[in-house]
Amino acid sequence: MKIEKRILNPERLRRCPAQFSFIEHDLVRGGYLRRAELAAWALYLVLITVGDEHGLSYYSDKSLGRLLSLQPAQIVMARGQLVAAGMIAYEEPLYQVLSLEGGRS
């Protein structure tokens, strides 16, 4: 059975502004979601939202913890999972969200 797509709420149709963030579809198709826990994906969402056109941002652990209601140790663990999964690079204080190309598992 083929499902036909239709706009459910035309008044709230999402449009990309000049400075936009996006989530690559390979996040699902490439098996990335299995590579980290929920806190790591919350951190990833913030990083792709606040990053510049190169995926760079420099939020502190304290700021990220406040935004995500996570303790410092949870931020460190989440960041470590994303680095190990090949999702981000980190050199204090700089984060870079990485392209998902070639990362299929």
Domain that holds residue 56: 26-88
How many domains does the structure of the chain reveal? 1
> What is the enclosing helix (H) or strand (E) of 90?
strand 88-91
Specify if 83 maps to a domain.
Answer: yes
* pLDDT class of 105 with cuts at 50, 70, 90: very low
**What pLDDT score was predicted for residue 17?**
66
Neighbour order of strands in the sheet with 94-97: 56-57, 94-97, 88-91
Specify if 62 maps to a domain.
Answer: yes
* pLDDT class of 6 with cuts at 50, 70, 90: confident
Gyration radius of the chain's alpha carbons: 16
Pairing of strands 94-97, 88-91: antiparallel
Residues 27-78 pLDDT 10s? 888 888 899 999 999 999 999 999 888 889 999 999 999 999 999 999 999 9
Specify if 57 maps to a domain.
Answer: yes
Residues 78-96 pLDDT 10s? 999 999 999 999 999 999 9
